[in-house]
Structure 1
């Protein structure tokens, strides 16, 4: 016969020191002998949740809610209902989660303002329950701010943190990044200092990190990912948010071109998170798809993008760019424009540069201009370096397409500077490829250095070779010359010496001489002057 009292005491002690596995086992053993109190059931559910056992956690919370309603304990039942709402919504079960939040609202109707009212207002704000379904609305901000002056002293800090998140998201969505991030940063300090229940704190941290990613503010995203990792570590290595942080860390690692091991790690982590936080798992599947696309694994990218969509995350613009790389230009355009139509102003911004690339591949300069103008406005409004880099890169692409390579180079070099500041290696190679094409369009020999730099980065990070959409439409070298022979003859025809050519193309003078000999043989000429004349006629 088990000493149930001793088992419960041990479970409580394990719970207090955040030994979730021992606490879960202890509460479960005591429950096998007799029914647990509502407090002990919540402790069992929390232990299961921290261990990533979301289904078991929800089952125990359902039982907890029934017991609290029977007690009756309206406040306790409302708190449990709100936790169930949050967990269901996090799992993508928005309809069921919303029903639980409405049930909590009914239980709180006659209860004086307290923390549970703030949790309810936060959920309503994130779901867009007010102002025609608009998330983070003005009305939701006013509701939470008003609660700060109505709740007891014990709840003021927590309500203030929730109000700061909603206010920050509201300001960001309306184009005031300075105020928005100031409020979010203030809220995150409250979260990481333990003023919010962990389930809600984790959601607020993820909301902030996702917003940083959406705004291409990679520096702030990295800072808050590290802060979340430290916060999660306090709850143990098995804590559910360890996996969430892992996805965010791998998103940053992939964006920076540090791909060693990232592919396998993303796949493993997302497979685990699908059971507890499918929304974050969907973000991870998208990051995996992008990594595979950039490495030239089209089939692998397509599988990852499919998993992202199944988790509720639209795999754009990656999927459209994959279609573009496979030559399906019209299909890529249809995919991209469909995604644009379904997103709000901020979410559209991430798609605009890809839209310009596809529009240029379709030779639709009017559509490219419209998308670039929208991206330029967003970059000016939100002010993040990521948006500015995308915008200047986009403008450079269009200027080159319009036959204005000198102006294009100014924009492209500005984009390169920003991508270097952000330490985004693949993006640097991408822009360098366009810089090389712009130099080639001016007839200058300086593009060889940019192309060599791009190729070096591509080789370093293991990416597939990069070509611009304009380069794909450019005819190859005139027969019977190879690409390298055409480069050498073009330089020689402009008066470059063998030494000049060797320095420009990073090859030896001996190699230049060998190529020129082959060129003379192919063209049936015997002198540099005759070869140059042939180039001016055919090149």
Structure 2
């Protein structure tokens, strides 16, 4: 930041005598972005409006559109959602009309996607990501395909296609390596999250370490890795530090608060968890975010369960399941169902608990979420499978051992061949083999045939 500031000061000295040009407007926008990043939203807005006025006066459609998207993002962070999205929509109109150069078009598209992700509007984010990815492929020598892949990987991850998500994130990191470090770090963070959910904690740590080496920051995902390793103090220290660094950005804080609640509950610090859950609920309401609202219900339900308020937890977690289901994010649905099953059991509703556990197990099994599957086994008293295999993976492995092809396995289990291939990839990784023959040998060794 010190070097960047020095360049901005040098540019300001060079351009102060020529305030009526596009270069001066671009400089003012960079100054606005710095002010935004530091939390000085009033200064950021003032600077961006100066650039907007200049873009319209010159006229320069590119400068105008960049100023509109900057103002839009600042307004969203200040809680003025309608006005902020309105500015972004106006910038997008110029982009889709083909009035902008490639750089500005890509910048406006990516800003809109980031805003949608920030607000938890996953459907709108998906629509814009698909459109932007198609556009970016016409600019293969620029940075846009790689940046779009980071967004695409995040959406694939949320919607449960974890193998495709990791491939897309790996490709993004390769394409952006050396010239867009922020998005390379975001790509490795995405890879870490996927591996964490698969139960590959070592692989997750490696990916998170690469992200940290690039951007200098840890992530909530690393805190949850520490929690899975039963290093609760380390997990709490990471998430506490991350929240301490986010002093003004409520949406950034909100992304960290679900982990804060989960870790605090595990540590038995229910007052800390309650404070975090209340903050998350307030931000979700203020920003009208579908994803944050679902996260708030899950966090509150987790807390109520820990407090021994089983009836209240059942009602809250039913809301969480409903909200996550509407967003079509299977892992979050399954996690809420796991908690709901525990709440039902604590209420004496064993049938309800069994139904909720079974639905969670089916989703975790399909995704290959090894740690969550093991937690369910512990809750339901079912015997563990070797190497963290899920029920479905063990079933697929048994059929591999019997000599069946992917097509035959798909037919027998009423799955697509693509799903069977995904299960096989997870199986090979978990049991540490690279061939069907070796996988079959593992199956015979562990009586899975």
TM-score class, shorter-chain normalisation, is: 0.7 to 0.9
259, 266, 277: which one pairs with 2:180?
277
Q: Which residue of 2 aligns with 1:183?
A: 87
In the other structure, the counterpart of 2:293 is 388
Note the C-alpha offset of 1:149.
4.2
TM-aligned CA distance change 1:468 to 1:355, over 3 Å = farther
What residue is the counterpart of 2:336 in the other structure? 431
Is the counterpart of residue 289 in structure 1 residue 192 in structure 2?
A: yes
The reply on whether 1:361 has 2:266 as its aligned counterpart is: yes
Matched, 1:327 2:233: no
Match of residue 123, structure 2, among 190, 197, 219: 219
Deviations 1:378-417 (A, max 9, x none): 0011111001000011111111111111111111111111
Structure-to-structure mapping, 1:4-403, within 5 angstroms = 94-128=1-35, 133-134=38-39, 137-150=41-54, 155-235=59-139, 237-312=140-215, 314-343=217-246, 344-403=249-308
CA contact (8 A) 2:208 2:218 kept: yes
SS in structure 1 of the partner of residue 16 of structure 2: coil
Q: Secondary structure at the match of 1:396?
A: helix
Give the structure with the higher percent helix: 2
Alpha-carbon distance, 1:439 to partner: 0.6
| 1:97–1:200 distance in 2 versus 1, CA, 3 Å | farther
Specify the SS of the correspondent of 1:185.
helix
**Deviation of residue 440 (structure 1)?**
0.5
Counterparts of 2:308 and 2:39, CA distance in 1: 43
Query: Residues of 2 paired with 1:206 and 1:122: CA distance?
Result: 17
TM-score (norm 2): 0.78
| Structure 1 stretch displaced more, 367-376 or 153-162 | 153-162
Q: Which digits, 9 at most, give the CA deviation of each residue in 1:498-532, with x for residues without a partner?
A: xxxxxxxxxxxxxxxxxxxxxxxxxxxxxxxxxxx
Q: Pick closer, same or farther for the CA change 1:129–1:108 going to 2, 3 Å.
A: farther
Greater C-alpha radius of gyration: 1
Secondary structure of 2:113's counterpart equals helix
Contact 1:148 1:156 in 2 (8 A): no
The answer as to whether partners of 1:118 and 1:162 remain within 8 angstroms in 2 is no
Q: Which residue does the alignment assign to 2:368? A: 462
Contact 2:65 2:108 in 1 (8 A): no
Given that 1:294 and 1:464 are in contact with CA atoms closer than 8 Å, whether structure 2 keeps it comes out as yes
Q: 1:403 to 1:467 in 2, by over 3 A?
A: farther
Deviation of residue 434 (structure 1)? 0.4
| 1:96, distance to aligned residue in structure 2 (A) | 3.5
Gaps of 5+ in 2: 384-449
Rate the CA distance shift 1:152–1:342 in 2: closer, same or farther, 3 A.
Answer: closer
Q: Helix, strand or coil: the match of 2:162? A: coil
Q: CA deviation at 1:106?
A: 2.1
Equivalent pair of 1:253/1:262 in contact (CA under 8 Å): yes
What is the distance in 2 between the residues matched to 1:181 and 1:284? 26
Between 1:380-389 and 1:189-198, the stretch displaced more is 189-198
Say if 1:459 and 1:192 are closer, same or farther in 2 by CA, change over 3 A: same
User: Which is further off, 142-151 or 119-128?
Assistant: 142-151
**How far is the alpha carbon of 1:331 from its aligned partner?**
1.0
After superposition, give the CA deviation of every residue in 1:277-334 in whole Å (9 maximum; x if it has no partner): 1111111101100000000001000000011111216342100011101111111111
Q: CA deviation at 1:271?
A: 3.0
What is the alpha-carbon distance in structure 1 between the residues aligned to residue 137 and residue 356 of structure 2?
Answer: 44
Question: In 2, Cα distance between the equivalents of 1:313 and 1:207?
Answer: 23
Task: Pick the aligned partner of 1:449 from 355, 373, 391.
Answer: 355
TM-score (norm. length: structure 1): 0.66
Q: How many residues align?
A: 380
Change beyond 3 A, Cα 1:129–1:446? closer
What is the alpha-carbon distance in structure 2 between the residues aligned to residue 372 and residue 129 of structure 1?
A: 27
1:465, CA displacement in angstroms?
4.2
- Name whichever of 349-358 and 242-251 sits farther off: 242-251
| Contact residue 25 and residue 54 of structure 2 kept, 8 A | no
